[in-house]
Amino acid sequence: MLGAPERLPIFSNYYLATIFLSGYIGISGLIRYVTESPQPMKNIQLCFISLFLVAVAPVIAGTPIYEAQPSPTPADENHRDLFDYEMDYTGNSSFFDDHGKFGNGDSLYNDFSYAHRFLITGKWYFRAGVEYERFDFDGTNNGLPDHLQTVHALLALEYVVHDHAGAGIEIDPAKERQNFCRDRSGLRA
């Protein structure tokens, strides 16, 4: 017949399994499901060699030797020496008061601190150290000093857990100093 479409053979799951001599139990799209290995292990020598090695391996390894190990001493989980440095720069910011803008400028902040923790008992520590802070201002004549700086001691009593102070009291005795910019005549601006 002219123009009659050819019919493709329909393969059932059983027909696929008998043609290819394998354990196909289903076909879905391009995925075939296999239920068993198409070729069982025929080399009996390989099977016996594997069983022999599994049985002999513990004998060759010998008997285990158990020795009492000393328990590790608990290491101090808290750092004793504390260093910190911080620097912040703010470029060309405007300064405002309650009447509006009164200037603009840059600011630079530096902070360096060192402290040492002394163990008192358990998790209680006494911390002693020193800290230096400095603010530098530059820009228009806005009433801010050129520099603000301080050097102060750090004295604290802390309860420390996992290197963090959970509770404590701190005092920072200090001497502060500021420098105002002066014009050429020596008058404070």
Higher pLDDT pick, 52 / 96: 52
Q: CA nearest 151: which of 177, 128, 127, 126?
A: 177
Distance CA 107, CA 125 (A): 36
- For the whole model, what pTM was predicted? 0.49
Sketch the domain layout of the chain as residue ranges: 13-59, 81-179
| pLDDT-wise least confident of 58-62, 72-76, 78-82, 167-171 | 72-76
Give pLDDT tens digits for 11-37.
Answer: 444 444 444 444 445 555 555 555 555
Distance CA 185, CA 13 (A): 106
Q: Give the pLDDT of residue 183.
A: 45
| pLDDT-wise least confident of 7-11, 91-95, 113-117 | 7-11
Residue 22, helix vs strand vs coil = coil
Helix (H) or strand (E) holding 17: helix 13-20
Which stretch, 1-10, 92-101, 124-133, 176-185, has highest mean pLDDT?
Answer: 124-133
Secondary-structure breakdown of the chain: helix, strand, coil percentages, each rounded to the nearest 5: 15, 50, 35
